[in-house]
Amino acid sequence: MSFLAPVLLIGLPLALLPVVIHLIHLLRRRQVKWAAMMFLKMAQRMHKGLSKLRQYLILLFRVLAVAAVIFVISRPLAGGLLGLTGGAPDSVIVLLDRSASMEQNLLTTGTSKRTAALRNLTAAIKDAYGTRSKLVLIDSGTLQPVTLEKADALADVPQSGPSDTAADIPALMQSALDYITQNQTGRTDVWLVSDMRQGDWNAGGGRWSALRGAFASLKAVRFQVLSYPENQLSDMGATVEKVTRRETAEKAELLMDIRIQRGEPVQGTVKIPLRVVVNGASSTVDVDLKGSQAVLQAQSIPIDKATKRGWGRVELPADSSPHDNIYHFVFDEPAPMKSVIVSDSGEVFTPLSAALTAPADSSRKYVADLLAPARAAEISWEETGLILWHAPLPNREDAVAKQLDAHLRAGRTLIFLPPQNPTDDAFAGVKWTQWQNAPADKPALAEWWRSDAGLLSATRAGASLPVGELEAQKWCGVDGEFVLLARLGDASAKAPLLLQATARDGVSSPYFLTTLPAAGFSSLARQGVVLFAMLHRALNDGAATLGNARQRTAGPGSLGDDPAAWNRADIDNPESVLSLDRPMRAGILKKPAADTAKPDLLTALNRPANEDATHSLGKPALDELFAGLDWRLIERTLENEKSLASEVWRTFLMLMAAALVLEALLCMPGKRVAAARKESMKEVVA
């Protein structure tokens, strides 16, 4: 607790005035003995204990009333929402969500959720804690603790600036836990600032249980969740899903697949002016928006025939979320769509190779190589977009395991298929267990799959893949933390069919397919539609990072181990973006190629796709996530400028009033005394 007029607290000794007056009153008494004194003393001794207690309580309430008056005129600050009635803690840790969705702003002021939260939190910390607590900031971009000298620095450090990344709230919580345990921070207040997007919280993941247990053992830690959950349903976001350069004898053009998504459907048809910029030259396309989205497939944008490579962006009109109005892209001569299958089984390789070499895009070249597990080190890592690993999982200390991890860090795709003899080794926290068999006459059917996103999502036209027709005779169990993408039915005790390891910081997560596309295992090869769609989607994701022009998702590690080697190509002053922020800000970046004979590498960084989802986490879900912990939720909106730290003098005013009322009640004569006085008055009258 702090005070706006702390100098007036020097008057606190005045609260002892009732005690001083009471003592002076005792010294002024005179003793006069008379005949009936003996009987009165006997009666007084019978009630001495209760009488003294009553006098002490009266004295206490008088002291409290005077003290409350002094506190009122000293203007105390914030006990309520901040929960600081126990005084300033030893440490204050701020966990900041820097995701792209936190840049939603109030159009009248231009204030974003992130800016408003930092401003309110800075004022609250200054008013309620002052400089008595150690202040630490951990942001969702770097997950590294930064010690701050004062609260005013919260909004000034690069780690609190805007970004185009997603947030991993469980990872933020883990970073806070690591800092607390390693530094023995003592009594700690943890402030978690978020816009409550479900994708950032990963409430269904397995990490929350372990976090709750670890924080529950730290008795001196309490949480305040400062949330900005409001969403502007009229907000629109643009995404470029594919860019292809095509040249004929007459012209050259870019064919672009563009998607525009709106938070809520529109009534009728609305024309949206979409600005397309290619190498600095701009044009405008009018898009008819019906319902909640518009999809432009193979939208033609004319370019000069001499333009073989370059970069650009699509732009929507300004609205409340500027970070989803722009989507960047690059283009170049397309690299081969290369995949590598690591397997000793020709029965497995054949259907996989057939699916991967069947062209989904006639303008691209598709290549699928086969390597035995012993030759996995020969993989052309820089030229391979997808690796299918049908072999025992590598030990994490092996060189090939580190190469696979680097493959994922580069934004490429990896799918594990179960080996004949699973081992105890794990990759990305997931390992194979034992093979299971379905009853001979009743194969397991795919019961559930995620159709809204991922490898098994519906087609662009909205048609669902025939995943439910798949049959599995054999499948391998898995153990670890993962996100379920497809599940088998009752005949398999609802075993996973397709899953993805839990996301790691700045690293793509590998997929695990629990059965094989071979006779006696599943119908994947026989019913090839699902296999073809799944493999080509995985290949497209990985191939986006191939060649000299690459599409990547903004986030730590998106520019490799040396972000300083990349510079912004789409702004006049590229050095204005710090190297620390370059992997986390959307835009076009370039880097000289290792071979000086080759052109510069171009990379387009964009926000993650899940940042466009508007579903928010509610209070009941938070109650489950923080069950057993000392926590409170503080909801704010951009229109709500009320300070988190508020004056609580009214509380002390009510305390004074209560003390005076109780003192008055204790001063009232008892029923017997009142009755005796009444009888005495009657006798006098008679």
Q: In what order do the strands lie in the sheet with 145-148?
A: 145-148, 134-139, 91-96, 188-194, 221-227, 631-635
- Same domain, yes or no, for 362 and 509? yes
Tell me which residue has tokens 């502007």: 232
- Same domain, yes or no, for 657 and 529? no
**pLDDT for res 2:** 56
- Same domain, yes or no, for 439 and 510? yes
Instruction: State the CB neighbour count (10 A cutoff) for residue 537.
Output: 17
**Strand-strand pairing, 587-591 and 567-568:** antiparallel
DSSP lists the bridge partners of residue 378 as none
- Same domain, yes or no, for 272 and 420? no
- Give a yes or no: residue 621 inside a domain: yes
> What is the extent of the structural domain holding 113?
91-231+614-635
- Same domain, yes or no, for 248 and 326? yes
Tell me how far CA of residue 263 lies from CA of 197, 211, 232, 613, in angstroms.
14, 33, 7, 8
DSSP sequence for 395-409 = PTTSHHHHHHHHHHH
- Give a yes or no: residue 38 inside a domain: no
- Give a yes or no: residue 84 inside a domain: no
Domain count, the chain: 4
- Give a yes or no: residue 665 inside a domain: yes
Consecutive H or E run containing 310? strand 310-315
Taking Cα atoms as reference points, which of 195, 213, 201, 148 lies closest to residue 172? 201
Distance CA 15, CA 22 (A): 13
Instruction: State the CB neighbour count (10 A cutoff) for residue 573.
Output: 7
- Same domain, yes or no, for 165 and 214? yes
- Give a yes or no: residue 314 inside a domain: yes
For residue 256, give the amino acid letter: M
- Give a yes or no: residue 406 inside a domain: yes
Task: Provide the angle, in degrees to the nearest 10, between the axes of the packed helices 48-74 and 37-46.
Answer: 60
HEC string of 474-505 equals EEEEEEECEEEEEEECHHHCCCEEEEEECCEC
- Same domain, yes or no, for 494 and 618? no
* Angle made by CA atoms 402, 532, 363, in degrees to the nearest 5: 90
Q: Per-block average pLDDT, block size 10, for the chain (686 residues)?
A: 62 75 69 62 59 76 78 60 56 95 82 91 82 92 93 92 93 96 93 93 87 92 91 88 86 92 89 93 92 91 91 92 92 90 93 93 89 93 94 92 90 94 93 91 90 87 88 94 90 86 77 95 92 95 86 87 90 85 93 84 91 88 93 82 56 74 74 55 51
- Same domain, yes or no, for 195 and 209? yes
CA-based R_g, the chain, Å: 35
Distance CA 87, CA 2 (A): 8
- Same domain, yes or no, for 320 and 361? no
- Give a yes or no: residue 156 inside a domain: yes
- Same domain, yes or no, for 420 and 328? no
- Same domain, yes or no, for 366 and 417? yes
- Same domain, yes or no, for 350 and 428? yes
Instruction: State the CB neighbour count (10 A cutoff) for residue 157.
Output: 12
Report pTM.
0.70
Taking Cα atoms as reference points, which of 525, 500, 503, 528 lies closest to residue 512? 500
For residue 141, give the amino acid letter: G
Distance CA 182, CA 672 (A): 67
